[in-house]
Chain A
Amino acid sequence: MATGAAIAVENVSHHYRPPKKRPVHALDQVSLEVGDREFVALLGPSGCGKSTLLYLIGGFMPIESGSIRVNGNLVTGPGPDRGVVFQHFALFPWKTVLGNVLYGLENIGVPREEARERAQKYIDMVHLTGFEDAYPNQLSGGMKQRAAIARTLAIDPDILLMDEPFGALDAQTRGLMQEELLSIWQRTRKTVLFVTHDVREAVYLAERVVMMTARPGRIMESVDTRFDEAGPGVMDRPEFVEKASYIWNRIKGEAIATVAARAS
């Protein structure tokens, strides 16, 4: 087993077993390593098991076969070392934006004053200033998503598991949030596993893009996506465009397979 891996997934399979229905084979023999402080993007057709993999690393569901280690320790349950941004936000609807962001800070024992300050800092960072006292029901999808991001970043976890964290954002806000995430990652050197459907986003943000097959999800290929140049300008460079279109074509094949499987 390689040391230095922040996340080490080995031969993990997963079946969902809904009561009185056929089991769903979601993941098949998945092995994946994410190095310490590495930024990895996970791409794959809808329903291939990306969220499932994130949930398993998060420790939310029992692992039926294979093993997952985080910083060398077997995952047996959730913990604040792995911050999760959920695909559907999972904000607490009975708490205000501020209440949601404070929740984790209070749980990990940050003193009151400092917690307030930190919460405000992250609320400002995701541009929700002025919405501290709003309930999630009063927010748009994009605003909810940003509140969820602030809540997770506020507790400063070593590992970030992000499930399409910018999926509900408009292009402009998305660009801003991407830069924020990159700057946080560069400053605090977190390990990031980032699920997205946006190939350009994956290639731009991540050091490495991992592609998954259609269900049951398997790791298909891993592509190095580091470039010499930093900043959004890199997206116009030929080597960027080439990588992105290569990945796009690989994913497209899988997406077609998914649709074909659905139709049959």
Chain B
Amino acid sequence: MVATACRYSPLLLLALMWEAAVRTGLISDLVLPPFSAAVEGWWDLAVTGDLFPQAFASLRRAALGLGLAIALGTTAGILMAWNAKIRVFINPLIQMFYPLPKSALIPVTILWFGLGDMSKIVLIFIGCLLPIVVSSFNGARGVEDVLVWSARSLGASRRQVLWQIVVPAAMPEILTGIRTALAISFVLLVSSEFIIARDGIGFMIAGFGEEGVYDRMFACIMTVVAMGFFADRLFQLFMRRVLIWRE
């Protein structure tokens, strides 16, 4: 508990410096509301009941997009490692789409899927897909031959080997890929809601920014930061549970 408090003490320091910088007039409160005002704004938003439903709407989009990407991405990556024909087919697609900044697709997804949930989910799905495919492929590719061989000589069929050996052996890399995708999902979520949307936390940030209600804008930004932080921490805990055998 104390150790945790110590570890995050720089954050507290940052908050204090923020507060001090604005109070002393070092930074004008026209461009940066004091930390306390942002906290107050957060409290107002939370109590009036607007913040949580909006944050939830955003989280839902991220979860659906990421979930789809995990389901399809791990399957595709592992099958690519398993079968040369599939690999030959998918590889060029990956090479073409990998360097593309996925935010460039925001206008396209909006054009095709409208202003609502669907365009965001599709965008997040596309953005998360590639890192997951690539890491699953690398993980499955890197499985040592002798592990497969020993499973086969212990009575496993080729198909059983896929589930019982390749998937768990590739799990560290798959999970690392998903963690990267998780971070990407937040970037794409906020930027797509930011550009055009009817609700969601990114939409709120953009809205308050335009109206000049900066304490609330910062309150929303802090909320996104917290959401991203806790999602990542939670995922790390999950990873450690699943990969307990590596300790």
Contact = CB atoms under 8 A, between A and B. Distances in A.
Interface stretch (A77-85, A197-205, A217-225, A244-252): A77-85
B149 A135 contact: no
Interface in A60-81: 60, 77-80
Nearest to A60: B149
A44 interface: no
A92 B168 CA distance: 9
Given A135-B245, A137-B247, A94 B152 contact: no
Contact of B153 (A58, A93, A94, A136): A58
B170 to A, nearest CB: 11
A108 B156 CA distance: 8
Interface in B145-179: 145-147, 149-156, 160, 164-165, 168-169, 171
Interface in A23-56: 55
B175 to A, nearest CB: 12
A112 interface: no
A15 B244 CA distance: 39
A103 interface: yes
Contacts of B160: 107
B153 A80 contact: yes
A55 B154 contact: no
Nearest to B149: A60
Contacts of B241: none
A78 B153 contact: yes
Contact of A107 (B145, B156, B246): B156
Nearest to B148: A60
B29 interface: no
Nearest to A103: B154
B153 A79 contact: yes
B149 A78 contact: yes
Interface string A83-96: 11010101011110
A163 to B, nearest CB: 10
B44 interface: no
A78 B149 CA distance: 8
A58 B154 CA distance: 11
Nearest to B169: A94
B189 to A, nearest CB: 33
